[in-house]
Chains A and B, each alone.
Chain A
């Protein structure tokens, strides 16, 4: 019976003090007194917040009737209604929403410096070392391309156009600082307590916060949200932490990285390689196996071909680095990289100024005391499995953002999940976060926007014969005069024949792919069909209009090569 009761309390997230009467002196005496004050002779004899509940049966009855929860709540001297661990996109959205609903909230955010010593302010990955600086550097590269095209449109200037890395980083970091400040202001205005400290669980409902100076404070809350995000993974080879940088370091690098080797085939790797090359640097990408795992492989192949053929990025496929050696110190220095083939004994080496590792990101869930309160994580990747209301296996602990098992790792997803979670916990809402048809864009030199299923996934789920894939190349008008290639930009939709040709996959490779995709994502949420696309009149001349005139299908197998318009 004792075990049953212990389990009950554990699932409620409540710590128990157990006094084993057969292990104390005069246990019999205690039992007698208990009998006097509670009229109960048996064990277990349970008290909650100084109120006598009874034995095992009575306790379960109290749980059924709700009395137990009431007793647990009363007298609960929790400091806060909500403590959020992690001040990134998800954490801040959740905290702010809870505060708006009138709750007492604390946010803990702490950036453990990267091996190269880089750190940053409040706001999480997106603001500091992700989406924001990435898109700005991508823009810097696009402007370089635009300058190049401009001569064809009649612009005349004598100077050779060159790029100053320090000027760009200064401007970008300035903007990021204003965002950090904005977040701090925003939290203060809503009376959310913000601690720049490392949070970890010490027991149920209680965390310890350690600041930069090592000072510790403890705090309690009724509910917790874990939103600690991820950090770049290292290779685990000689010289990786000492000499390589990651995206954590790249966006605030005080010196131009020079000739760069990017290790990885993730979107982070390709986006970084893309803008570095666009800024005029000599860039090589080393890929172990496939590019953009999880994304539509036809699109990934076209995207990387473009980078290789038109954008001057070198690709070393099917190699992994085994050693990084420093040849010269400096900013940047000179590094020698030795790599081994994944298909045989061949090794190669190369000399680079900078080696950027972009081989994946690991969840920050292993050193925050989750084991102390029994929150289950996926031991392999550190991700946290949650149910459809973002709840972990411990009832008062929730998780959002990149650390979630099986959910898209995107800022808007984390923000949406955070907001809705706060509304469900503290408001009157029951709306859950919708993870279906989440659009995304890879900001490589040729941008790739998508929403819904990849062709591979669609075939797996619906079977090839039930799908109709429409596709076309398109030539942006702006590229014609600029003398840029035709038959490179590409549009593809995947339709489910069994459901009125419902559009279940949308893919576009071309300029402004993000802007184009956003609108079509809304259409897909409204259950867009091919017929509706055909009935929509296109805007001319744009790239997006290609989706309103798609005719050729893959099954027909006709040639989609454009001959100019």
Chain B
């Protein structure tokens, strides 16, 4: 089917990389309203994920860094929007409003 990264084929990552800067406001909420909305849905979906799955929550930095067209995420990981839920090493991912749909998440987290 597609090239399979042996190490990470069945490891889904949520990539919003933390660069050591504060990206949440005083109430602990991110600057990205879509991400705030998606987070509880993703956490709920994770409850049904298989053992051996590693979940990584990664911040993409402050808003200006994210908006920069040359930032690492856009260039290296080809992330075009946040939130993105990405099964690392595969082309399988959910972007923006897709992250709010539990049935789509179930599909991503399944073994295939």
Residue among B91, B103, B104 with the most chain A CB within 10 A? B91
B1 at the interface (CB under 8 A from A): yes
Q: Which residue of B lies closest to A185 (CB)?
A: B104
CB contact between A170 and one of B1, B3, B92 (< 8 Å): that residue: B3
Q: A120's closest neighbor in chain B, by CB?
A: B1
Assess A173 versus B104: contact at CB under 8 Å? Given A178-B91, A181-B92, A185-B98: no
Closest Cβ of chain B to A114, distance in Å, is 14
> Which residue on chain B has the smallest CB distance to residue A194?
B107
Contacts A177-B90, A178-B91, A181-B92; A188 near B103 (Cβ below 8 A): yes
Q: Which residues of A contact B2 (CB under 8 A)?
A: 173-174, 176-177
Q: How far apart are A190's CB and chain B's nearest CB, in angstroms? A: 11
Given A119, A175, A189, which contacts B101 in the complex, CB threshold below 8 Å?
A189
Cβ–Cβ < 8 Å partners of A174 in chain B: 2-3, 91
Of B2, B103, B107, most A-chain CB atoms within 10 Å? B2
CA A178 to CA B89, docked complex, whole Å: 12
Do B91 and A185 have beta carbons less than 8 Å apart? no
Nearest CB on B from A279, distance (A) = 20
A274 sits at the interface (CB 8 A): no
Q: How many residues of B contact A (CB 8 A)?
A: 14
**Count, A-B residue pairs, CB within 8 A:** 35
CB pair B107 A177 closer than 8 Å: no
Q: How far is the CA of A184 from the CA of B112 in the complex (A)?
A: 11
Partner of A121, one of B1, B3, B98: B1
Q: Which residues 75-112 of B have a CB within 8 angstroms of A? A: 90-94, 98, 101, 103-104, 107, 112
A139 located at the interface, meaning its Cβ lies under 8 Å from any Cβ of chain B in the complex:
no
Secondary structure dominating the interface of A: helix
Chain A 134-174 interface 0/1 with B at a Cβ cutoff of 8 Å (1 = within): 00000000000000000000000000000000000010011
Most buried by B among A121, A174, A176, A181: A181
A184–B91 touching, CB < 8 Å? no
Contact B103 A173, beta carbon cutoff 8 Å: no
Distance of A443 Cα from B77 Cα, bound (Å): 33
**A31 on the B face (CB < 8 A):** no
Question: How far does the Cβ of B48 sit from chain A's closest Cβ, in whole Å?
Answer: 16
Residue A326 CB within 8 A of the other chain:
no
* Complex alpha-carbon distance, A180 and B103, angstroms: 17
A189 to B95, CA, bound (A): 13
Question: Which of A119, A120, A177, A189 sits near B91, CB closer than 8 Å?
Answer: A177
The answer to whether A189 touches B90 (Cβ under 8 A) is no
Give A217 Cβ to nearest chain B Cβ, in Å.
17
Distance in angstroms from A251 CB to nearest chain B CB is 12
Q: Are A184 and B107 in contact (CB under 8 A)?
A: yes
With a cutoff of 8 Å between Cβ atoms, the chain B residues found around residue A185 in the complex are 94, 98, 104, 107
Residue of B nearest to A252 (CB): B1
Q: Which A residue's beta carbon lies closest to that of B98?
A: A185
For A120, A184, A185, the residue with the greatest tally of chain B CB atoms inside 10 Å of its CB is: A185
Q: How far is the CB of A136 from chain B (nearest CB, A)?
A: 14
Chain B nearest CB from A124 CB (Å) reads 15
B96 to chain A, nearest CB (A): 12
Partner of B3, one of A119, A173, A180: A173
Residues A173 and B107 in contact, CB atoms below 8 Å apart: no
Beta-carbon contacts under 8 Å, B48-69 to A: none
A244 CB to nearest chain B CB (Å):
23
Q: For B104, what are the chain A residues with a Cβ–Cβ distance below 8 Å?
A: 185, 188-189
Of A173, A175, A184, A188, the residue contacting B1 (CB under 8 A) is A173
Name B1-31 residues within 8 Å CB distance of A.
1-3
Q: Is the CB of A188 within 8 A of B107?
A: yes
Chain A residues contacting B90 (CB-CB under 8 Å) are 177, 181
Contact A181 to B91, CB < 8 A, known contacts A173-B2, A174-B3, A176-B2: yes
**Nearest A residue (CB) for B92:** A181
Task: Look across to chain A and name the residue whose beta carbon is closest to the beta carbon of B2.
Answer: A177
Give chain B nearest CB distance to A196 CB in angstroms.
Answer: 8
Give the complex CA separation of A472 and B80 in angstroms: 47
CB nearest to B91 among chain A residues: A178
Closest residue of B by beta carbon distance from A174: B2
Residues of A within 8 A of B91 (CB): 174-175, 177-178, 181
- Which B residues are CB-close (under 8 A) to A177? 1-2, 90-91
* Known A-B contacts A174-B91, A185-B98, A189-B101; A180 and B1 likewise in contact (beta carbons under 8 Å): yes
Q: How far is the CA of A97 from the CA of B1 in the complex (A)?
A: 27
Chain B residues, Cβ within 8 Å of A196: 112
**Residues of chain A from 81 to 138 with CB closer than 8 A to chain B in the complex:** 119-121
Q: How would residues 371 to 401 of chain A score, 1 for a CB under 8 Å from any chain B CB and 0 otherwise?
A: 0000000000000000000000000000000
CB distance from A26 to the nearest CB of B (A): 56
Which residue on B lies nearest to A178, using beta carbons?
B91
Q: How far apart are B46's CB and chain A's nearest CB, in angstroms?
A: 18
Query: Smallest distance from the beta carbon of B30 to chain A beta carbons, Å?
Result: 25
Q: How far is the CA of A210 from the CA of B29 in the complex (A)?
A: 48
- Best-buried of B1, B101, B103 by chain A (most CB within 10 Å): B1
Give the A-binding residues of B (Cβ under 8 A): 1-3, 90-94, 98, 101, 103-104, 107, 112
Seen from chain A, the residues whose Cβ lies within 8 Å of a Cβ on chain B are 119-121, 170, 173-178, 180-181, 184-185, 188-189, 196
Q: What 10 A-B pairs have minimum CB-CB distances, sorted nearest first?
A: A177-B2, A178-B91, A177-B91, A181-B92, A173-B2, A170-B3, A181-B91, A188-B104, A188-B107, A121-B1
26 A–B pairs (Cβ distance < 8 Å), ordered by A: A119-B1, A120-B1, A121-B1, A170-B3, A173-B2, A174-B2, A174-B3, A175-B91, A176-B2, A177-B1, A177-B2, A177-B90, A177-B91, A178-B91, A180-B1, A181-B90, A181-B91, A184-B107, A185-B98, A185-B104, A185-B107, A188-B103, A188-B104, A189-B98, A189-B101, A189-B104
